[in-house]
């Protein structure tokens, strides 16, 4: 059973998918349901207001965190609770406060550890697969030339 709502999204969902700050969008956008076709059109051919929001902000916290190369939690620890514009982000990057330096280092360390764990897991999986293949080959029934004749 499909309803007409199954093919439309709330403005907050669309804003999140587009990486824009919902309160900065036009009221018409905030008050309407967006169909999947309209969403695809917004992505393919963004109107001027959308292009401007993406270019200059204000940006939602996930976008701010990504641009500053910190986690969203790091933004909160740094006292950044509101959306920031591109100019404000640039200002922070040009003269980083101490909290930003610390959070960027923490974020880099967490990413490095996650990469190390991922590589270690892949290495273990490859070793296990090699052992399993060797055991399967060893335990496979032996065939001789007579078996084929």
Backbone angles phi, psi at 32, to 5 degrees: -120, 160
* Structure-model confidence comparison of residues 140 and 77, the more confident one: 77
Average pLDDT, the chain: 86
Q: Which pLDDT score is estimated for 146?
A: 61
Q: Using one digit for the tens of pLDDT, what is the confidence trace for 77-86? A: 988 888 999 9
Q: Using one digit for the tens of pLDDT, what is the confidence trace for 3-51? A: 444 588 899 999 999 889 999 999 998 898 888 988 888 889 889 999 9
pLDDT surpasses 90 at 139: no
Q: Cα angle vertex 135, ends 131, 139, to 5°?
A: 175
Q: Which pLDDT score is estimated for 3?
A: 43
* Structure-model confidence comparison of residues 139 and 88, the more confident one: 88
Closest alpha carbon to 47 in 61, 29, 33: 29
Averaged pLDDT for residues 64-87? 90
Q: Which pLDDT score is estimated for 128?
A: 83
Q: Which pLDDT score is estimated for 144?
A: 58
Q: Decide if 42 contacts 14 (C-beta within 8 A).
A: yes
Least confident segment among 19-33, 100-114, 127-141: 127-141
Q: Decide if 27 contacts 41 (C-beta within 8 A).
A: no
DSSP letter, residue 59: B
């Amino acid at each position: 059973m499909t309803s007409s709502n199954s093919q439309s999204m709330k403005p907050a969902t669309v804003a999140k998918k587009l990486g824009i700050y919902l309160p900065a969008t036009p009221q018409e956008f905030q008050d309407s349901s967006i169909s999947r076709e309209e969403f695809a059109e917004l992505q393919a051919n963004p109107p001027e207001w959308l292009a401007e929001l993406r270019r200059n902000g204000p940006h939602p916290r996930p976008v701010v965190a990504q641009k500053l190369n910190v986690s969203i939690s790091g933004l909160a620890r740094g006292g950044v609770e509101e959306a920031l514009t591109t100019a404000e982000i640039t200002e922070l990057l040009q003269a980083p406060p101490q909290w930003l330096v610390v959070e960027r280092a923490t974020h880099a360390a967490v990413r490095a550890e996650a990469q190390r764990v991922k590589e270690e897991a892949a290495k273990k999986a490859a070793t296990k697969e090699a052992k399993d293949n060797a055991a399967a080959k060893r335990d496979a029934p032996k065939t001789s030339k007579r078996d084929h004749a």
